[in-house]
Structure 1
Amino acid sequence: MSPLTDHELTELLAADRTLAVVRAASIPDAAALAAALRAGGVRSLELTLTTPGVLTHVRRAVEGGDGTVVGVGTVMTGDQARAAIDAGAQFLVTPGIRAEVARVAVEAGVPVCLGAMTPSEVAQALDLGSSVVKVFPARQVGPAFLKDLQGPFPGIRLLPSGGSMPPTPAAFSTPAPSRCAAGPLSCRRRPSRAGSGRTSRPGQRPSPQRCRPPGSSDLDRGRGAHHVHDSHVPG
């Protein structure tokens, strides 16, 4: 897998306006999950360090995800950043300002998305080399906050994340590619012919149609950091 540049990550997020974030108790088949998301139009996947065995899942998703861009989230330390990069992570995401994570990522040439909540933190994230600034938790501030940040930081790339999508998700969407909305992304198991709720046969990949944001046909495949919860991870 060739290295991902800052420009390539920002262009991917601007085009898809979606980043699937998986935080789960277990992932039966990370490669199948990544491939299904990509087939459904979601080309970037963040696997969080709170998921047991996540580095193994990263390797499998990178190797068998049909070209899905795979990153690691909830990175808190430099050692975690190095381990994630060694496992094949193509980008890193943090919940807040983590200078050591940024340093490791920048030195390795790996894009990093630092979390920020205030204008001061946004400025610090940019100073540390954040490719895209993750606004977290976005549901606490709303779309007007993102618009206001464009004043002192013109052209900044923002990735709102955290919580569920508001009742009118289009409120977070603007014509500018630098902003997008946050919300849930459900990935459910395909029922077997017997109706057991399991996959039809071992190794079968989940249906791409079952891995997409609710109402994605109306939302142009969704916008922002969409979270896949453990009860919805296909196996």
Structure 2
Amino acid sequence: MAEIDIIGGDRAMALIRASVIPDAAALADTLVEGGIHAIEFTFTTPDVETHIARATSRETGALVGAGSVLTPAQARSALDAGAHFIATPGLSPQIAEIAAEASVPLMMGAFTPSEIMQALALGVWAVKVFPAQTAGPDHFRHLLGPMPMARLIASGGIVAENARSFLNAGSYAVTAGSSVVPAESLAASDWDDIRRRAGEFAAAL
């Protein structure tokens, strides 16, 4: 089994969008202990490459990726920092080429059937459907009707209370965001709170 497949095992991945990350390795440890092994650090965080490098510098058991990758330069710097996967908010043939050359799993953001078809043609490992909360679970049922082979990850507005409904609709996994890793808890290094939130989210799946 490929390392990336742990996302399918957990049915979840964590997305970290914060201005302050005091200890990326401790955060990775905490999320793994809570039952979420895949972590996406986004380029909206200052100096995100440093956080990726720290999170991959020791055996945390986490699968660490780079998200909100917008340019080929960002993709290359994320890979240089040790990212295990790359995620983009939209379609980018140039970034798809870089990921393929590096043999690194790629996720691309899409919303419509046409966009998902384009993402699949670019060789993505999975498509992150965003914003999932806006579309609702039925959107996934309709998309998977003609494209049952698509691996769709629900992203945006997913919380413990609605996560299961997206999985029941056929979503491969869901993305846990600020409901699991609140900015204030992260800034305060409140690992107990984040561990509890991750466990509750994982249990809801």
Contact 1:39 1:208 in 2 (8 A): no
Q: Is 1:124 the counterpart of 2:118 in the alignment? A: yes
Unmatched 5+ residue regions in structure 1?
191-196, 200-204, 221-235
- 2:162 and 2:156 map into 1 onto residues whose CA distance is 16
Q: Is 1:102 the counterpart of 2:96 in the alignment? A: yes
Contact 1:173 1:179 in 2 (8 A): yes
- 1:168 and 1:45 map into 2 onto residues whose CA distance is 20
- 1:53 and 1:38 map into 2 onto residues whose CA distance is 23
Query: Which letter does structure 1 place at the counterpart of 2:3?
Result: E
- Could you tell me which of 29, 54, 60 is aligned with 1:66? 60
**Deviations for 1:77-131, whole angstroms, at most 9, x for unmatched residues?**
1111011001100000011111211111111101010000100000000010110
Unmatched 5+ residue regions in structure 2?
none
* 3-state SS of 1:216 partner: helix
Q: Is 1:219 the counterpart of 2:204 in the alignment? A: yes
Report the TM-score when normalising by structure 1. 0.77
- 1:12 and 1:74 map into 2 onto residues whose CA distance is 21
Q: Is 1:207 the counterpart of 2:192 in the alignment? A: yes
CA, structure 1 residues 167+125, in 2 after alignment: closer, same or farther (shift >3 Å)?
same
Give every structure 1 segment of 4 or more consecutive aligned residues whose post-TM-superposition deviation is greater than 4 Å.
Answer: 187-190
* 3-state SS of 2:204 partner: coil
- 1:109 and 1:73 map into 2 onto residues whose CA distance is 17
Tell me the number of residue pairs that the alignment of Structure 1 and Structure 2 aligns.
Answer: 202
Query: Which letter does structure 2 place at the counterpart of 1:80?
Result: Q
Query: Which letter does structure 2 place at the counterpart of 1:132?
Result: A
Larger radius of gyration: 1
- Could you tell me which of 121, 134, 144 is aligned with 1:140? 134
- 1:156 and 1:94 map into 2 onto residues whose CA distance is 17
- 1:186 and 1:26 map into 2 onto residues whose CA distance is 12
Aligned CA RMSD, in angstroms, stands at 2.6
